Amino acid sequence: MQKNCLKLKKLNIRYKIKSMRKNDILWAPWRMGYILKFKNKGCFLCEEIKLPKSKFIVYKGNFSFIILNIFPYNNGHLMIAPMRHIKNLEELEDKEFIEITNLMKNSIKILKKILNPDGFNIGLNIGKISGAGLEDHIHIHIVPRWSGDTNFMPVISNTKVIPQSLNELSKILKKEFKKDFKNVHC
């Protein structure tokens, strides 16, 4: 019986996806603050990395850094970027690529320990057409996900619920990264 219910649910989901209309799209209006704030104001990643002490950079490596997204899709939304202001993935030097890959691995380990998510979305948006809000400084998004983390709040009330302040999470993450890495500079 339970197996049949799962098959029916899968069929129903496939049907819903195939029959999606324009009105069925769920929008993320809380992201407009991000889009409008940084439009034509330079590179916020480069500006943040210049600060002697950043609230939101949780780790600085030799060639790259990890920063909390201040307009997160979810609690713990991190971005990993090279220190150099480069646009394309193929412009990364091997040493940058290796460090960024290691930072992704360690970020996931730390986020699992601290936030216990059910999964992650990890990705790059290269070029405006792909959704890149910041086109000229390549960065990787790591977004923790939980079962049921997308609900009615953003759709009905234009409100995204993030259960933890960025300042609080930043302090916790900095502490964890210090345990994992010896050369923490932030």
Positions marked active-site: 139
Q: How far apart are CA 47 and CA 18, in angstroms?
A: 44
> What are the DSSP calls for 146-158, one per residue?
-TT-S-HHHHHHS
The whole-angstrom distance between residue 171's C-alpha and the CA centroid of its chain comes to 18
Per the CB < 8 A criterion, the answer to whether 38 and 139 are in contact is no
> Do the beta carbons of residue 106 and residue 71 sit within 8 Å?
no
Distance CA 92, CA 182 (A): 24
DSSP 77: -
